[in-house]
Amino acid sequence: MSTGIDFIEIESGCLSLSNATKIEDIIELDKEAVVQDLSSQQIGEILQLPIANSPLPICVWDCCAGSGGKSLLLYDLLPDLNLTVSDIRQSILANLKKRFARAGVRKYHWFVADLTDINSRFTIDHSPFDLIICDAPCTGSGTWSRTPEQLYFFDEKKIDQYALVQTRIVTNVIPQLRPGSFFVYITCSVFKRENEDIVHFIEQQFHVQMIKMKLLRGYQNRADSMFVSVFRNGL
């Protein structure tokens, strides 16, 4: 059916539409298609690396799941997975559940947790995991091309504050990996303190090997900028 809507095909499975497009009047969002930033979609290509030769079904923990965008990417690539999602915010997990329901995703486990509490001794069902995705809280500096006003209000002290949060989270979650499994660290930040410095911290503190690191420069494509690194657990 022709709708008369202009679009640009960025790559296979990815279309660019005007911000004013009322796409919800044409398709069922999260069921027939997902609206995501281009860089977020490109994370899906990187996620193919850790799942390429994994035995099925793989056991995955999306530890800072938010509304579930990265988990939906993974489900699109590999529906046969045992998924666990968590977040510190009960309200955002409520949004995730609604989004998953629309997408037909029903096989998953969820829980609320403060992963910055390094004194916590939480027990996670289905641990250890074959893959942990950590889309970590950050300054969001990679999104400032569409919200430039944030730069005016930004306090540089927040960089170190977020870096502390990030180190605490990875310290809690990486021990939940099984031997030979993978850890994917993601931010929407452009600051070295939140990206390369965290990679260095992970390499120094854990028996893991960094096998891929990339900055997705979204501003070149009118998208957010994102940082992603992939580690293989050596133990």
> What does the alpha-carbon distance between residue 154 and residue 89 come to, in Å, rounded to a whole number?
23
Yes or no: say if 41 and 74 are a contact pair by the CB < 8 Å rule: no
pLDDT at 88: 95
Q: Which residues are catalytically annotated? A: 188
Q: What is the mean pLDDT of residues 187-208?
A: 97
pLDDT at 210 over 50: yes
* C-alpha distance from residue 11 to each of 4, 138, 167, 233 (Å): 20, 28, 35, 32
pLDDT at 2 over 60: no
pLDDT at 22: 67
Of 47-51, 80-84, 85-89, 167-171, the least confident: 47-51
pLDDT tens digits, one per residue of 41-57: 788 888 888 877 777 78
Question: Which residues sit opposite 233 in a β-bridge?
Answer: 208
pLDDT tens digits, one per residue of 142-153: 999 888 898 889
pLDDT at 84: 97
The number of angstroms, rounded, from the C-alpha of 205 to the middle of its chain's C-alpha atoms is: 22
Identify the residue whose tokens are 């069921």.
Answer: 31
User: Closest Cα partner for 16 from 226, 229, 177, 223?
Assistant: 223
Q: Which two tokens stand for residue 229?
A: 């690194």
**Degrees to nearest 5, angle at CA 147 with 144 and 149:** 100
pTM of this structure: 0.89
pLDDT at 123: 73
How many CB atoms are located within 10 Å of the residue 8 CB? 9
pLDDT > 70 fraction of the chain, expressed in percent and rounded: 84
pLDDT at 148: 87
**226-233 and 177-187 beta bridge pairing:** antiparallel
* DSSP code of residue 33: B
How high does pLDDT run on average in the chain? Answer: 88
* Burial tier of 157 (Cβ tally within 10 Å: 0-12, 13-18, 19+): exposed
pLDDT > 90 fraction of the chain, expressed in percent and rounded: 60
Domain ranges of the chain: 1-35, 36-233
Domain 36-233 is of which CATH architecture?
Answer: 3-Layer(aba) Sandwich (3.40)
